[in-house]
Amino acid sequence: MGFIQDVLSSFVAIMPVTLAQSLILAFVVLGIMIPFRMLNFPDLTSEGAFPLGGCACGVLLAAGVSPLTCIVVAFGAGFAAGCCTAFIHLRFRIHTLLAGILMMTMLYSINLRIMGKSNLSVFGSPTVFDWVPFARPGFPASKIVVAGLLALVVFAALYMFFRTEKGTAVRAVGANPDMAEAQGINVWAATIGGVGLASAFSASSGALMVQSQGFADVNMGLGILINGLAALMIGEAVVGKQTVWRQLLAPFAGAIIYYQLVSFCLAAGMPPPDLKLATGLFVLAMLALPSLKRSRGPAPAREAIRE
């Protein structure tokens, strides 16, 4: 009983911190979901776009640029990276995963060029989290408010966009690009714009994370893709993915639940090095479960096959 109380007390103590972190990283999960679900474009650019936005933000913050401007610049840099990935796939007929790997690899060198070194401290620089009037700057409450408001604005904007004619065209390209092209939809523009937007959200998340933690590092995106995929799987299992608003809500709900589960595991005494193994096994189970269900099939069908 004492052990359970200790675990719960530790979990409650770190919950505000992980909630703020999950709201920031939810934009990475959103950047994974858009190409994966809406464009049928499995993409790995997010793992390079996340540190790209963080490195660009860190350099600009150190130069005294406004924190909001830093996020806008990071958004633009991530958009350019995503557009390059989509262009490589469309122009040279390279598989989406390989195109993402190529871009992610090149972004590592670009991030080093941007910062001039592997990491950069921006402690003491102004951030967007300082703008909350009733919360102490740098504390979880201010981060939760700012990240939560950004999440609401992004969710509402994307929901309205995907209900417009252009948004429907993007989803049509993901459903059937040949039919979409036959209907007069510009497949190249929809694909490049959609993948670019997804990477832009990942880069914005990196910029927010740098402002939250106070430093930028070229390796800050290591493992972010598998964490984001795990969060997306959880969100889709809880919220569903049958409609547009469910698809958009799943990344935010999944990120919150996933990182709270991570904090609970840490509070329960799980060694931090084991978290990656546990996350990988969880994603494997979630991806393999539908296949296992289909392979079992209905009982009468299995009997007919044996006969």
Per-residue pLDDT of the chain (307 residues; tens, 9 = 90+): 566 777 778 777 788 889 999 999 999 999 999 999 999 999 999 999 999 999 999 999 999 999 999 999 999 999 999 999 999 999 999 999 999 999 999 999 999 999 999 999 999 899 999 888 876 766 788 999 999 999 999 999 999 999 999 999 999 999 999 999 999 999 999 999 999 999 999 999 999 999 999 999 999 998 899 899 999 999 998 898 889 999 999 999 999 999 988 888 888 888 888 888 888 887 788 778 777 777 665 555 444 444 4
In a domain, 274, yes or no: no
In a domain, 6, yes or no: no
Whole-angstrom distance, CA of residue 45 vs CA of residue 224: 11
Q: Are 52 and 78 in contact (CB under 8 A)?
A: yes
In a domain, 236, yes or no: no
Q: For the chain, what is the domain count?
A: 1
In a domain, 279, yes or no: no
In a domain, 285, yes or no: no
263: exposed, middle or buried (C-beta count within 10 Å: 0-12, 13-18, 19+)? Answer: buried
Give the residue from 71, 5, 30, 3 showing the smallest Cα distance to 256.
30
In a domain, 134, yes or no: yes
In a domain, 161, yes or no: yes
Give the residue from 23, 25, 19 showing the smallest Cα distance to 46.
25
Domain that holds residue 54: 17-231
In a domain, 241, yes or no: no
